[in-house]
Structure 1
Amino acid sequence: MRVKEQIIILKIFIAISIPFIAVIIAQLCTNTSYTEISKLSFENEHNPLRLHIIGDFGELHPNTTYNSTLPVKLVAHLMDHRAKVYPISFIISLGDNFYPNLSSVFDPMAHTIMNEIFDLESIKIKPWYLILGNHDYQVDPYDQIEMNKLYAMWNLPDYYYNKTLKIDNGFFVSFIFLDGVVLEGSASERKTKHYEWLEKILEDQAQDPTIKWKFVVNHMAFFSSSTGHADSEPLKQELFPLLYKYKIDIYFAGHSHVMSHFVTEYSSVEPNYTALGKGNYDCSFSTYTPYGTSTNYNKGFAMHEVVQGCGGGDLNLMCTNKTTSMANLIFNSATYGYSELYISSQMVQVSYFNIFNSEPIYSFEIWGN
């Protein structure tokens, strides 16, 4: 056989073999990376809960740093410092977990954030419960569900899910984690099924007297006081009436890179839907506390919206007069930080922290009946 013919045969063999070799390598990598891991959990049989809430945090290349330190690192250290004194049970992420987009489930950026930045003494062994944001949808969002197999602290079992936890005195608290991208999107079978699932849970919980507190976790806020995003008009028209009907206690959201507290009082008549119009807004980075640095409410008085999108992404200006008649703006700030949630059968307390203060810059309490 001539040399030329041998070369042709060799090229054909290589061309045929490469796909099979690639599959074998991929399977080996997958099997190695997906070795069974022990998931972090916590025990909370008879005690109140304390947890941290962070949103829009996974930014490794922000426009602003502090002495060359990433904002998300400062927030992580602030959370760790607080947790040393006031231990927490877990951490909730409000979505937009990575900027820019993950290239795959094995992207080193995920390792940097979860196993380096948050690898701090008092928070590294705490489980995370996460949702997906719009940035997480810019690539295949299922990659982040697959990350359950790679990281012990990572809990994102599905696009939306419910978690009910025992607190003290035989009562429970419900966290309903939503897929805001689907709910804010146009009509689809997937969106319809999501709403059917949500209403079934809310109906069941309305009949259960042991469910003391009802919280809903979503990426998009109903109301936005920032220059980064407007109100979510689809959610105000569709999701808001449903949550108002079942009198949930707190709606947690991120998306806007500010931290805010909105209050919608419950009454016999649901607030009329009001679209946010264009206007000349008064926007700045200052903190807005017209009612003081702490407020108190009775359970059932209002639905509260907690916006916490200051975990590490570039901040938005906050606009104190960018509101609708559907809610009152009680607190607003555009500084990096996180929120702490304390839950007992008697009361709930939400505290807002920023990187410049070890004590809360604002807090509110809801007292049970």
Structure 2
Amino acid sequence: MARSPGAIMALMFILMAAAAAGELSRLEHDLKNDGSLKILVVGDWGRKGTYNQSEVATQMGMIGEELDIDFVISTGDNFYEDGLTGVDDKAFEESFSNIYTAKSLQKPWYLVLGNHDYRGDVLAQLNPVLQKIDSRFICMRSFIVNTDIVDFFFADTTPFQLKYWTDPEDDHYDWRGVAPRETYISNLLKDLDSALKASTATWKIVVGHHTMRSVSEHGDTEELLQLLLPILKANGADMYINGHDHCLEHISSNDSPIQYFTSGGGSKAWRGTFTPNSDTLRFFYDGQGFMSLQLTKAKADIVFYDVFGSVLYQWSMTKFSNQILQFPM
């Protein structure tokens, strides 16, 4: 899908203007005529179709058509094992354009970076030039998608993990545009706090790559719990959606309304690890699949699907009464 040169230049202008102003980039996405929004969420997928990535993509296409989705969210680790080598890396087409071919998936994809993306040429993956190859691909470090009833706050979580800086082992991380770490994190937290405070949307949803609460292999990310979670709680965030752990899960906070959703089953999965934490585990599936999110001003419906497109779990909440309803599988 080719985007016009004018559209490419417009997006580049938005990004440069936001950077110059020291604030998060904002993109607008219209709701359906009935005021609803329907999206798919997938993470940890970019393996050139292997490890059932193609099978998950097929089911995403079918569910996407059934729901008539508005866009797709990627929770990061878009290209394994080490990101992209440049804007001309064929892995972009082999892991993205040639895999997610269903008509229903020809919608905008809003993507954050994962730790594996940082192991490649980060600037290439962030470069709007990739949209000349496939116009769906909208990847930035941190940004906001405004949709009237819901604001999505996409946060760059990889720099938060101290071990990537101090003990990367055999991996190389591309910290261009990020170092020094402390300054970058401080500015990002300040920007997110300001944006969340200013939001008048009914729903506030934060998207990052790394887990905040998880019972799978990576578990909780302490740096996010210490630095990012207090800002989410203080500003009434409703959900934190992530990847990183290659599974599907839903955890409810015991001391706030925040719901944690992991959708990292886009390809390689089945880690065989389960370590409970102190919050309430509502659902855990150690396998491949993806998530749908349907929103109206009053209600959010979340569904997890497996690699065969079968419904694994459904959950809903109404915003104004804050009533939580768990549906049978």
Query: Is this a same-fold pair by TM over 0.5?
Result: yes
Structure 1 pair 61–76 and aligned structure 2 pair: CA distance change class (3 A): closer
Query: How many Å separate the matches in 1 of 2:104 and 2:114?
Result: 26
Contact 2:29 2:147 survives alignment (8 Å): no
Q: 2:220 aligns with which of 215, 231, 243?
A: 231
Query: How many Å separate the matches in 2 of 1:212 and 1:74?
Result: 35
Task: Write out per-residue CA displacement over residues 290-317 of structure 1, whole angstroms, 9 at most, x where no aligned residue.
Answer: xxxxxxxxxxxx2100011100134322
Q: 2:248 aligns with which of 252, 256, 259?
A: 259
Structure 1 pair 204–232 and aligned structure 2 pair: CA distance change class (3 A): same
Find the counterpart in structure 1 of residue 318 from structure 2: 367
* 1:194 to partner: Cα distance: 0.6
Find the counterpart in structure 2 of residue 112 from structure 1: 94
Query: How many Å separate the matches in 2 of 1:42 and 1:246?
Result: 22
Task: Write out per-residue CA displacement over residues 98-141 of structure 1, whole angstroms, 9 at most, x where no aligned residue.
Answer: 01222211111111222211112221x21100000000000221
Find the counterpart in structure 2 of residue 179 from structure 1: 156
Larger Rg: 1
Contact 1:37 1:149 survives alignment (8 Å): no
Find the counterpart in structure 2 of residue 245 from structure 1: 234
Give secondary structure in 2 for the equivalent of 1:331. strand
AA aligned to 1:112 is E
1:23-172 equivalence runs, <5 A: 36=5, 43-44=30-31, 46=33, 47-60=35-48, 70-101=51-82, 102-123=84-105, 125-146=106-127, 147-156=130-139, 158-166=140-148, 172=149
Residue 329, structure 1, aligned to residue 281, structure 2? yes
Give secondary structure in 2 for the equivalent of 1:143. helix
Residue 303, structure 1, aligned to residue 258, structure 2? yes
Give the structure-2-normalised TM-score: 0.79
Residue 339, structure 1, aligned to residue 286, structure 2? no
Q: Tell me, which stretches of 5 or more residues in structure 2 are unaligned?
A: 12-27, 166-180, 321-329
Query: How many Å separate the matches in 2 of 1:148 and 1:189?
Result: 30
* CA-atom RMSD in angstroms: 2.3
AA aligned to 2:93 is H
Query: How many Å separate the matches in 2 of 1:366 and 1:355?
Result: 25
Query: How many Å separate the matches in 1 of 2:190 and 2:29?
Result: 30
Query: How many Å separate the matches in 2 of 1:34 and 1:153?
Result: 9
Residue correspondences, number: 280
Contact 2:299 2:319 survives alignment (8 Å): yes
Runs of 4+ deviating beyond 6 Å? 39-42
Contact 1:221 1:254 survives alignment (8 Å): yes
AA aligned to 2:125 is Q
* 1:149 to partner: Cα distance: 4.3
